[in-house]
Amino acid sequence: MARETTVPAGGGFRPVHHPAGLDDALRIAVEEVWAGRWMAMRDLLERTGADWALRTARTQVLGAVAAGSTIVEAWAAEEGHSVDARVMWARVVVQRAQRAHRQRHPEAVHLEHQAREACRLAVEAAPGDPVPWICLLTLASLDERQERPEHQLQPWEIMLPPGPWGLLSRIWERDQCNREAFHRMLQFFQACTTGAAASVSAVDFARWVASWAPAGSALLVMPLFAYADLHRRQAADPRGQGRSDALLRSQWSVDPIRSETLRAYRGWFATLGHGGHTPLSVPDLSHLAFAMWSARHYAEAAEVFAAMGAHTAVQPWASFTDDPSRPDLATEEFLRARRHCLGA
């Protein structure tokens, strides 16, 4: 039985965008970080312990939130012995390196070197923790020309492209089926090749992951992320018909996307009970809700919308509006689909 949360379907409902999503304990720590205080972050990670899936998700969010401040530096200065502070420093500098790379900032190369050194120190401090290796895998997408040897390794499956498979193996040894690790691989394939080849490689990779992912694994949702990215590329292609092309939208109601959508619903969402302690990912739920709605499985989509509670994510809704840069249009698209399904 899937988790259910009763939320009004009426016109007065407005969704919440919060980086912590459905993780109430993380929400408190995030708001403390915003207020310039690091102790709640420290205490949360101490309580999280070696629950690697939860630790990965929480450090990812906290790193993104803290990257614009010096709060992790303050923590490390106060508690230089803290392993968690060292891991969070790796998270923060990787986030900064990503941002500098996107902005083509003149300090981008320096920040990438700093991030790699922070990852190395975090690996030494926490050898059994997958997070430092995930940080290194995140940096792989900055190597757009695949110049580093560790990003050119042969794949686990012969039909897949070369990439940072050794880094993925390191993570697998510590936490099999780590959600973020496989999403970072997906982002690597999306970033390191251009044009149609990038999307095809990414879709192939995502479908391969879903083909063996165990029941209950959020990796079953990964193809929906890959198809959403493929749609973004197709819709933005000036040689095509743009975002109004009905064919692009109709692809979600036929195979192979429809089959992947049903596999994600049946293999992941429908297997989840109420007793799980790891909060569901709002981006995963958001992609599944969109895909189920687009495939015209309205009753099942309603269950997913209900599980999201008051929360939403910008993607994939923004990609199916006339202006993907406007979050308000993404919210309106989300609300339209939600009203349709919860009112069906």
286-335, pLDDT tens digit by residue?
999 999 999 999 999 999 999 999 999 999 999 988 888 899 999 999 99
Q: What is the pLDDT of residue 1?
A: 34
Rounded CA separation 199/193 (Å): 8
pLDDT of residue 264: 98
pLDDT of 235: 75
CA distance 235 to 320: 9
The token duo for 313 is: 């994510």
> Which pLDDT does position 7 carry in this prediction?
45
Nearest to 115 by CA among 99, 95, 130: 95
> Domains of the chain by range and CATH?
23-192 (1.25.40), 196-344 (no CATH)
Report the chain's mean pLDDT, rounded to a whole number.
90
pLDDT at res. 198 = 62
The predicted pLDDT at position 147 comes to 86
pLDDT along the chain (344 residues), means of 10: 41 87 97 98 98 98 98 97 98 98 94 98 98 98 89 91 95 98 96 63 94 97 95 73 58 92 97 73 98 96 96 94 90 95 80
